[in-house]
Amino acid sequence: MTPPVPTTPLDLELRAAHPADEPAVLRLMRASLGWRDEDPNEEFFRWKHHDNAFGVSPAWVAVHQGSVVGYRTFLRWRCLDDAGRGVRAVGAGDAATDPAYQGQGIFRRLTLRGVAELTLAGDGLVFNTPNDQSRPGYLKMGWSLARRVPVGVLPTGPRSARRMLTSRVPAQLWSQATSAGLDAGEALADGAVAAALLGHAPTTGFRTHRTPAYLAWRTSFAPLHYRLLLASPDDPAEGGLVFRLRRRGSAMEAAVVEQLVPDRRTGIALVRRMLTMTGADYAIGLRSGPSAGLLPLPGQGPLLTTRPLAASPPSPRDWTLTLGDVELF
């Protein structure tokens, strides 16, 4: 095992990332995160951080003797508060440290550098749903635990419910293909279709600023196989839901990313039709946003953390979140 390379604040340069750094950053990500050659990780990285409808991700690097040894980025996000006012936000995004430099505090230093510069730039707040391993580090850097975001599920039957309850492992990142519904990326590239569905987007709470451009980007990464199931094939204004299939242990789950429907009856019917068409064991989504047809799963759900930048975060109960807001970021 290669011993850690000693560094001090004097010989480690921290700066904003430049476009020319990207090849070195991608090599660092591959080495530190164990990217597999067969997975489209580089394309996924560019989709998140370059193609994002809310803007290119700001990022910072740590450089030692001319080599990039640390990386930290924040994902641009736009929100609306309960009064409909726009709020600039960021999500805590990708981070990596060269294995030979781990234990030197590089992640913390880059994160706090980014927080300071984003605050000066006028970004309002940062939010994320860190896992159990990384959450303590964020809390030490000024993040606060906002709430557990409630989860809802709908199993197709007793056997599927058992598979769901015994598959206590993280869901796979990459989706399973299905012919159910429409290719969401293709369908929502039509601004008229997206605008019709957005007539049913959330209008209260602290929420993502959903626009046709956002929906088109959010569903456009082909390896994630997002699908759109419409209530009526002839009129998207009657509502629809966006979902994808993914493996979780022995179970197949249908992740409801967005539910854009005029009423609960439509939402319930779409969730049930999705399960029938896909053969998934259960549907899953967040109950802090539109979630018709999904039953509470007490004590489960991601833990939302926030940190103020140039503005104060909303009250924990004001967040209106869907899986589309947090599942990949």
126-180 residue pLDDT tens: 999 999 999 999 999 999 999 999 999 999 999 999 999 998 899 999 999 999 9
4-31 residue pLDDT tens: 676 666 589 999 999 999 999 999 999 9
Residue 10: predicted pLDDT: 57
What CATH fold (topology level) applies to the domain 13-147? Answer: Aminopeptidase (3.40.630)
User: Alpha carbon of 45 to those of 6, 23, 48, 174: distances in Å?
Assistant: 30, 12, 5, 14
Confidence of residue 181 (pLDDT cuts 50, 70, 90): very high
Q: Where are the domains of the chain?
A: 13-147, 150-300
Q: Which residues of 199-224 are buried (b: 16+ CB within 10 A; e: fewer)?
A: ebbbeebbbbbbbbebbbbbbbbeeb
Contact 90, 75 (CB under 8 A): yes
247-264 residue pLDDT tens: 999 999 999 999 999 999
The region that residue 239 occupies, defined by phi over 0 for left and psi between -120 and 50 for alpha, beta otherwise, is left
Q: Domain 150-300's class?
A: alpha beta
Are 13-147 and 150-300 in the same CATH fold? yes
Residue 7: predicted pLDDT: 66
Confidence of residue 287 (pLDDT cuts 50, 70, 90): very high
What is the reported pTM? 0.94
Mean pLDDT over 288-294 rounds to 95
Site of tokens 């924040």: 74
